[in-house]
């Protein structure tokens, strides 16, 4: 079965430090990959998505992610963390043609230390 693994359920960084959230997928066919962010008591907001046009994808709020097929990874990075980045982040994949099914990782809660 296709699956998504997010390494680290909790990540803590200092304000101004690099943010790195890890996502690995298993798929027998080329996937399409997404990162979503969830703030407390809110729904999911799309940060960025990979759809095979370019391996380095830039998203909102200064985030970017790089698709590495050889490593089956799609890690999310941000050069300098801001207090407002504190939230839960979800990596998701879809690969079923004709359907909107997303399979999510378990999420990574990002804490920013002042």
Task: Please tell me whether residue 90 binds other proteins under the rule CB under 8 A.
Answer: yes
Task: Please tell me whether residue 61 binds other proteins under the rule CB under 8 A.
Answer: no
Structure tokens at 16: 């101004």
| Radius of gyration of the chain from its Cα atoms, rounded to whole angstroms | 14
In sign, the C-alpha dihedral spanning 77, 51, 53, 29 is positive
In the complex, the smallest distance separating the C-beta of residue 50 from other proteins, rounded to whole angstroms, is 9
Task: Please tell me whether residue 28 binds other proteins under the rule CB under 8 A.
Answer: no
Task: Please tell me whether residue 32 binds other proteins under the rule CB under 8 A.
Answer: yes
d(CA 106, CA 6): 6
- HEC states along 59-88? CHHHCEEEEEHHHCEEEEEECCCCHHHCEE
Alpha carbon distances (Å) from 2 to 26, 31, 37, 63: 5, 10, 22, 25
Task: Please tell me whether residue 113 binds other proteins under the rule CB under 8 A.
Answer: no
Span interacting with other proteins, options 10-18, 19-27, 33-41, 58-66, rule CB under 8 A: 33-41
Task: Please tell me whether residue 77 binds other proteins under the rule CB under 8 A.
Answer: no
Candidate list 18, 20, 60, 96; residue touching other proteins; CB under 8 A? 96
What residues line the site for other proteins (CB under 8 A)? 32, 34, 36, 41-46, 49, 51, 90, 92, 94-107
């Amino acid at each position: 079965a296709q699956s998504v693994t997010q390494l680290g359920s909790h990540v803590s960084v200092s304000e101004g430090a690099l943010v790195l959230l890890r996502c690995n997928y298993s798929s027998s066919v080329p996937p399409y990959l997404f990162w979503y962010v969830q703030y407390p008591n809110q729904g999911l907001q799309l940060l960025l998505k990979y759809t095979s046009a370019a391996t380095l994808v830039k998203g909102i709020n200064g985030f970017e992610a790089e698709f590495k097929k050889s490593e089956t990874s799609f890690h999310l990075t941000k050069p300098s963390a801001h207090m407002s980045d504190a939230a839960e982040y979800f990596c998701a994949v879809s690969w079923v043609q004709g359907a909107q099914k997303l399979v999510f990782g378990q999420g990574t809660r990002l804490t920013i230390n002042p």
